[in-house]
Amino acid sequence: MKIPSLLLNDGHYIPAIGLGTYQIRGGQGIDQILSAIQDGYRLLDTSTNYDSEGIVGEAIRRSGVPRAEFFVTTKLPGKYHHFNDTLDSIQESLCRMGLTYFDLYLIHWPLPKRGLYPEAWKAMVEAQKLGLIRSIGVSNFEPQHLNRIIKETGVVPAVNQIEVHPYWVQERMLQANQKLGIITEAWSPLGRGSAALNEQIIIDLAEKYQKSPAQIILRWHNQRSILPIPKSSSLIHQRQNLDIFDFKLTNDELLKINSLEKADGRIDGQDPNEYEEFN
Ligand SMILES: NC(=O)c1ccc[n+]([C@@H]2O[C@H](COP(=O)([O-])OP(=O)(O)OC[C@H]3O[C@@H](n4cnc5c(N)ncnc54)[C@H](OP(=O)(O)O)[C@@H]3O)[C@@H](O)[C@H]2O)c1
């Protein structure tokens, strides 16, 4: 299936949807990622903290698809925010995946209480100059974190990957990213398979458009100019999740989905200002 692309602020293109790999592991995981590649996924999202970098690299090799066709993303763990640790961690991840460069590398969480994220960002700017990374971005960054790294380096992230789903709509963050020319990626775009898939508003739209509830939610992201990275280990779901580009929700329908937002809608209550990453 042909997937549309979005233009990043550094001139590179990124597929408009990708595959999340959180909790995809082991030999079975390689097969699940391979099936996704065969169905057309090219953006693969992993992280050092998911313990899936190795199998993503192996699936890429086994697929026979040229490396240049992929858009591989991984993320920096919180324990490596010091400048030299960041550079080492990038190179360790490349070795683990058997790759010579990443298409996109993200700071996984800002960890503002430690306050080392500007140092990590400077190391990523350096790694980009060295050719280890094509595009550099962040994850779970709030406006004040974005402003700080931009002020200190003059370099604007290409992507900010944040939690977005119908219970956590993130209109304010979406606009903050857009103002800076940053593409918003949605993690847990389906609410991690939560009750959002069973909301009556979503089910009614699924019936109207002859699509599944997941496809309605993924199309909602796409029409908001958000790039979703749904995780699925099911062949049927993986295929379904790519098939979202042949229908269009109305503005009213987009707003109806927005209205599902909850005040405490975050899946695990992870506030980027407070969250201390596991490491
Ligand atoms: N940057 C960060 O801090 C951060 C945090 C969390 C996640 N992430 C990234 O975001 C990715 C996605 O988030 P996520 O894995 O938390 O949650 P998600 O993609 O919102 O949801 C995954 C769940 O939805 C189910 N699902 C997938 N497609 C479906 C379909 N068509 N119909 C019904 N159910 C479906 C999956 O089950 P099946 O496997 O059975 O299909 C799985 O249980 C992660 O894998 C990871 O790469 C990043």
Residue-wise pLDDT tens digits, 3-28 = 999 999 999 999 999 999 999 999 99
pLDDT at residue 2 in the model: 82
pLDDT score for 13: 98
Position 121 scores a pLDDT of: 98
Question: Residue type for 46, please?
Answer: T
214 lines ligand 1 (CB under 6 A): yes
Share of the chain above pLDDT 70, in %: 99
pLDDT in tens, 94-153: 999 999 999 999 999 999 999 999 999 999 999 999 999 999 999 999 999 999 999 999
Fold of the CATH domain 5-258: TIM Barrel (3.20.20)
In ligand 1, which atom is closest to the CA atom of 233?
Answer: 39
108 is in an annotated binding site: yes
pLDDT at 193: 83
Ligand 1 centroid, distance to 152 Cα (angstroms): 34
Residues near 193 by beta carbon (within 8 Å), at least 6 away in sequence: none
Domains of the chain, by residue range, sit at 5-258
> Quick one: pLDDT band at residue 51, thresholds 50, 70, 90?
very high
pLDDT band at residue 279, thresholds of 50, 70 and 90? low
CB atoms under 10 Å from CB of 85, counted, come to 18
CA of 72 to the centre of ligand 1 (A): 17
What value, to the nearest 5°, has the Cα angle with vertex 69 and ends 61 and 4?
135
Q: Which of 187, 198, 268 has the most ligand 1 atoms within 8 A of CB, as the residue to mutate?
A: 187
The pLDDT assigned to 222 comes to 98
- pLDDT level of residue 178 (50, 70, 90 thresholds): very high
Rounded CA-CA distance 38/228 in Å is 19
State mean pLDDT over 173-179: 98
Give the pLDDT confidence score for residue 1 in this predicted structure: 72
Give the CA radius of gyration of the chain.
18
Instruction: Note if 50 is an active site residue.
Output: yes
DSSP 35-51: HHHHHT--EEE--GGGT
Please list, in sequence order, all residues whose beta carbon lies within 8 angstroms of the beta carbon of residue 169, skipping any fewer than 6 positions away.
258, 260, 261, 265
Q: What is the pLDDT of residues 204-240, one digit of tens each?
A: 999 999 999 999 999 999 999 999 999 999 999 999 9
Distance of CA 8 from the midpoint of ligand 1 (Å): 24
What is the model's pLDDT at position 278? 61
- Average pLDDT (245-270) is 97
Nearest-CA residue for ligand 1 atom 16 is 188
Q: Is the CB of 74 under 6 A from ligand 1?
A: no
Is 253 in contact with 223 (CB distance < 8 Å)? Answer: no
Average pLDDT of the chain, as a whole number: 97
